[in-house]
Amino acid sequence: MKTKQQVKIFIDLCMAVALLFLMSYALISEEVHEWMGVVIFVLVIVHNLLNITWYRSLLKGKYTPFRIFWLILDLSIILAIIGLMVSGIIMSRYLFTFLPVKGGKSFARTLHMISAYWGFILMSFHARLHTNMMLAAIRKAAGITKPSKIRMIVLRIMAALICAYGVYAFIQRQIGSYMLLQTMFVFFDFNEPLVFFFIDYIAIMGMFTCVGHYFSAALRIRANSNFKQKA
């Protein structure tokens, strides 16, 4: 595997871990939360630099429904990150207190909440674009060179179980109400072990990654079908 691909995989994994810590917010203390925010912001910059060709290709080629959808998704993620950065600086109690920022904390809290939960879901959806590269790395490391029907069935069963638990965790954690601002304060059980929190959010992340995978496949199939009809 090329060094650049290895770096990409490493950065993506670091972003996933940092994102989980960010979502745990009150369970890791506000100061650590702010530091993790800075860490993931740096990782996002590195991630974009490693994928700079995406920006160079924006004005090239034809915009199919598939490409338009993923462009809107990526731009939405960028907006969520900007919202998190701006609101995080306004609300900062540790790292950015030296900045002459006054007022706006109520609006910043609302912006931070909606950006955080929408950003988490959209980034999980976006992760579908990088799963193929990670799976290829795993296959190569394990010395797997031939396809296997049994392995495919096992992986699909695992994906189904993750999705099922992800739906449960999504509802149980009230993620939807936070995304729609139906609830203005996030509930945290301070007696809950951090590992259980991570398990639920990993399942939610996995569920939306799977949704992204199959939604993307459906768009491709539809695009190919339309192309054949025109031909």
Report pLDDT digits (tens) over 87-101. 999 999 999 999 988
Of 152 and 206, more confident: 206
* CB of 5 closer than 8 Å to CB of 137: yes
Task: Determine which of 109-113, 169-173, 174-178, 189-193 has the lowest per-residue pLDDT on average.
Answer: 189-193
- pLDDT band at 75; cut points 50, 70, 90: very high
C-alpha span between 149 and 21 (Å, rounded): 36
What single-letter amino acid sits at 6? Q
- At 217, list the tokens: 């496949």
Q: How does pLDDT run across 119-162, given as a tens digit for each residue?
A: 999 999 888 766 666 666 667 766 777 778 888 898 889 999 99
- At 118, list the tokens: 């929408």
Of 70 and 208, more confident: 208
* pLDDT at 34 (0 to 100): 95
C-alpha span between 109 and 23 (Å, rounded): 14
- What is the pLDDT averaged over residues 64-88? 90
* pLDDT at 112 (0 to 100): 95
- What is the pLDDT averaged over residues 34-42? 93
* pLDDT at 26 (0 to 100): 85
207's CB contacts (< 8 A; 6+ apart) are: 124, 162, 163, 165, 166, 167, 170
* pLDDT at 114 (0 to 100): 95
* pLDDT at 229 (0 to 100): 53
Number of domains in the chain: 1
- What is the pLDDT averaged over residues 46-64? 87
Burial class (CB in 10 A: 0-12, 13-18, 19+), 28: middle
Give the long-range contacts of residues 214-221, CB within 8 A, separation 24 or more: 216/66, 216/70, 216/128, 219/65, 219/66, 219/69, 220/66
∠ CA 127-155-139, nearest 5°, is 70
1 has pLDDT over 60: no
- pLDDT band at 20; cut points 50, 70, 90: very high
- What is the pLDDT averaged over residues 67-95? 92
Q: 82: domain range? A: 3-230
Task: Determine which of 22-36, 63-77, 133-147 has the lowest per-residue pLDDT on average.
Answer: 133-147
* pLDDT at 164 (0 to 100): 97
Question: What is the percentage of the chain residues whose pLDDT exceeds 90?
Answer: 48
Look up the pTM and report it.
0.87
* pLDDT at 219 (0 to 100): 76
* pLDDT at 70 (0 to 100): 85
